[in-house]
Amino acid sequence: GPLQWTGGGGRVRDDLVVGSQLPAGTVEGTSPRSWLELTFRDGTTFSVAGQSRLVFSEAERKKLRLHSGRLYADVRPQPKGHSLLVRTPTATLDVVGTQFDVEANTYATAMTVSEGRVRVTRLIDDSAVDVEAGHRVVAAADRDLHARRVPVIENAWKSEIDRGPDHTLGRWRTASGDAPAHLASVPYMTEMGFV
């Protein structure tokens, strides 16, 4: 999808192709179809998807500012004392080396850690929490800043149908027409909302 890079001196490029080398600047995804992967010299990668706006630089340490959108990061171990910083409108993420994804807007930042650990500091009150692998946190003014375990997504289940419809999960369907009696599955949604 369409992307635009803006760099120093107001230079603008919208002709980005695979392998384009970009100095520090701002990358904007201008469509829900937009997607970009940035790879730094040390192998650290960031993927930005959809309508998003990301400012990046790499001087003595990598710094990113995710104004809005979704970012997936695979961060290689960073030099001691030079952790990678990601800033959003509501939080700062201090990253040494890990895998995580973060979604940000004006009101909240939601982050899930896949590997390693990330320190999240909420900007409104400077409260902080360390988020470990398999956990998620939402940094917003109207929520407690607590890391919560990400529920395991089940993709298979087994029922004890012989115990009858009062002891099963799902929806019991009685026989009708050519269809025999059966147990239909019912979607189960966990509380994973963004805000």
Q: Render pLDDT for 9-24 as a digit per residue (tens, 0 to 9).
A: 889 988 888 888 888 9
What is the pLDDT at residue 58? Answer: 84
Q: In this structure, what token pair is assigned to residue 120?
A: 């999240």
| pLDDT tens, position by position, 39-48 | 998 999 999 9
Q: With 70 as the cut, is the pLDDT of residue 70 above it? A: yes
Give yes or no for a contact between 5 and 15, defined as CB atoms under 8 angstroms apart. no
How many residues make up the chain in this entry?
195
Q: What is the pLDDT of residue 151?
A: 83
The terminus-to-terminus CA distance of the chain in angstroms comes to: 27
Average pLDDT of span 157-172: 63
Stated pTM of the model: 0.75
